[in-house]
Structure 1
């Protein structure tokens, strides 16, 4: 895997994103690293972010037309997303790119951010908090802005998601999840350290991954 100097990151991250959006802009996987201490900090009114990582695979090198759009795509994406780092590697004649960013934790179900982690008291499960990946008002603006660069650019709203949750809680519930390679209709267990929750397909084509957790642990 090739590690790139920081001065090259902006242009190459744009190259990666251009590759992704030009083949449908669906990530292979999105991973969020969530620590319950971060959620408690957000609940206390502090500005809090979680690490977000997305992996895209493009089956072919960019053609001349795609390459010419790199600057326009970067300028557009940079207005809505903050990309901190990425790595790239050649795979079977194509390109795999891993993009790392930070998403804000918001203590409401709605926000302006294109993507954010929502952390709210559950209205359906008493004593629990709801944690979910959400899109905000700026997501539609991002889609529209990308389409103005090229009508074929169609950013998917939700992607296969893994939530790596760290902390302690007497109970964590995740619907339709794969945990430790085991599929669960409803995962329901105590959180003692770290659990990896995978959610994709079905309803998760139209809603972000998420879980419910008691915060009194």
Structure 2
């Protein structure tokens, strides 16, 4: 710019020259190395979780609920023991519902301290046949995972509810299963794409740079 005796400074370069080195070339390699290390650690943690969570069954029982029955609707289970470290607890429901629904209001209660974990689940299952063939909606079973439950003696309080219309015809047989130390995989599969975001971002930037350079070459 000075060689031509022009005043001021040269304007900033616009575009990408055909032989301009990519500033992302080394970054892509390094960021993918880091991503692979993180994915390897993710895989090790996933396998460790699968191998060292016991999923031990601590309680199982069957009950019947009649919507038209008079008196107290709720029930309490016998006390069961949760041993070992603080961990997740899974409460599963298995029903025989057919073209009906039921809501289960539940609480996992410590028998010694009275502390409670309240939760509820609506279970519904419908099926039929129309011009397109057989169809189903919903499911007969459900489950809930209560995280970080300390060891101790616990029981469940269960209060089912069904639609009041035609109550005398409505009932549900259901089974309750409690397991401790169950693996929770949802967080793992949520974390995996997050681990790859930086590597994908740099890769797309590098691809954009190369595309712009080829356009300049044309």
Please classify the TM superposition score into its range, dividing by the shorter chain length. under 0.3
Compare the two structures and name the one with the higher helix fraction: 2
Normalised by the length of structure 2, the TM-score is: 0.27
Higher Rg of the two aligned structures: 2
